Structure 1
Amino acid sequence: MANQPLPSDKHIQRRYLRQIQLPGFGEAGQQSLGEARVLIVGLGGLGCAVAQYLTAAGVGNITLLDGDDIALSNLQRQILFDEASIGANKADVAKQKLQQLNSQVQITAIDRHLDLPLAETLIASADLILDCTDNFTTRYLINDVAHFYKKNWVYASVLGFAGQVASFNTRLSCFRCLYPNVSEVPNCNQAGVLGVLPGIVGNLQALMAIQMLCCEQTCNQLVRFSGNDYSLQTIGLAKSRQCLICSGQQEYFQLHSHRCDESAQPRAITASQIKTFIEQHPNAKLADIRSPAEYQEHNAGGINIPLSDFESWFAGQVSQPLILLCQTGKRCQWLLGRLPASSTARSPVVYLEGGLDALTHPTHSLHLLKAL
């Protein structure tokens, strides 16, 4: 990919002529797609269809995430793969196939399943997220982190002869408004699915994604498709007062904190205590655990170690006092709850209570942090 020449305006015009011709789309719509960063979670039947059409449409940057390997039973519906691909990782094979379709699209393949630290990094840097998985746990995780970062996303599911797609502008409603509790609905591996259904529903999902990237006109709609009578039903979605996320009762790191080490004792310091801490620990280092995009937009200095990378980075460090920093302090609190007590006992590790929000005005404390 690094050696691929940049496409000329004439090349773009020729390649995407048929969609540029569309009223209301035009060159501005194509430019929006070319600048977009899309995360596709899951490369099953839905993900294969979505990835192909977004690549063909010229979405500029696509990240593919799937930790599963290709099996014989996948080939009935996951049409990016073939018999020679069996045993290989889905994301890796999908990237190879998609690059042959459009060499100008920047495609990243990640051989992993989505977890909280990874969601923190990938969703924060994406313009749109597409859920192409088959489990509610991952959907809630995508929803909750997307809500925090104010990112739009598109959900889809299939079962038997039916499927549905929903688009979410998280300022207006979210997946928990639609499904407040974990559903016991079986997935297609348990209940079966007609192979063509993920293709139909995945294409609807890709259509929603393109429209959201260009104009957001489909936000907060649920579309249900029946393969029995070929009917489509569209339902508008609204915010629920009982929703834990939309009501502000919970944030994503609280709802997904079941892996925390409860024996650890997180320690917070206030802005007024920064000077004393630095005087006691003159070799202290400031570590900002927000995403790179957040750090670049505004920071108090120090080093940027994103939440997803922190634990591996921390394990390889020589004992050194640390002040952790995020936007509100809550991510730092969650992270300290995960670190073994033995590791934080070797040298003080604290976090700034209230985070950067506690330093919204120029203060002596802010100057102290920038000097670390």
Structure 2
Amino acid sequence: MSNISRRSFMAASSATLLSVLLAGCDSDTQEPAEQGGDATQAGGKHIYVLTASPDHGWTGQVGVFAQEKVDEVNESGTYTAELQTAGAAADQIAQVEDILAGDLSDVAGIVIQPLDDTVQSAIQQIVDAGVAYVAFDRIIEAVQDSAVANVKGDNEGIGAGSAAYFVENGMKPGDAVYIYQGDTSSVTTLRDSGFTEYLLGNLEFDGAKVPDDAKWTQDQIDAAITKSGAMNWSRSDTKAAFEALLGDEANAQIKWWYAEDDELAMGILEALNGGGISDSAKEAFYATKPFITGCGGLQEYYDVISGDSYADITANLGGVMSVTYSPSMIQTAIQDMVDHLDGKDVEQDHVIACENVTSENVADYVGFE
């Protein structure tokens, strides 16, 4: 071999060896990150469940049902779980940040009930960290595609169920309707749209669409349906708003009252039971034999539907009804996380069907306190 050839060979061999060594260094620096990513996504055993503070009503019962399921997970021994609650979105965001700042190799996943849409930033941090998460109840559209599952009741079905109940009881296209809205979230948007989409003939409820002779036009929707704005899921706010509304006795002629939560429906009933509405306005209101719907499964409202309370008021009404939206759905969300971690297929858009609860079938349902 000539000196030139030998030098060329040695140079090529050295370059090859250097490349191998450099590749090995790259491999060494990347390996822990890859292992850490695998551990975060599949190797951890601890499940965090983040919900609203269990103060009262529906959200309070979410916490009760969540704790029951957390205890069940811990007893099974495959995973550990803990419930953390927050009274404000900022607190919930801080909870997420604290979890992600810890040892991610121990984190199996996070089940979160976002308190409002500002929690989107925290959910994006969960995604960026490679941690599996399940969203419950309030689904934030911008990040929903990154969830293992988005578990929610059929919010459109709630609107459709209320509309179907009204139609069954004689509501005609163009009749005045008043909607008491929950808040400004996707939940309210869907409950609004379900109501109108059913009346337009675009959405089914219980396997059927609105009859052709009861179908509304968009112009009738726009002219006849009034929305309250956000009641913040508050009974007291709805009570005050209803009293103010009936201060103008022309509003007492409205027959169809769609409350987007049982607490809001109870606010109407408490207003009718109190002294904040004039007797003449109440007489005008009762003369129409009005109908009131709610949703959620509040036992107090189920007692009204069954005739065990507020009977003197409901005797003057055409009917009261609720649509199911059980807080026990949080247990489905936690189970979806467990199933995902076990390698099972999980439905990403996990919508739980709802049913109308009337005086005819209320005895078949157990509400929450």
Tell which structure's C-alpha radius of gyration is larger: 2
Give your verdict on TM over 0.5: no
Larger RCO of the pair (alpha carbons < 8 Å, separation 6+): 2
Give the alignment's TM-score, normalised by structure 1: 0.31
Give the alignment's TM-score, normalised by structure 2: 0.31
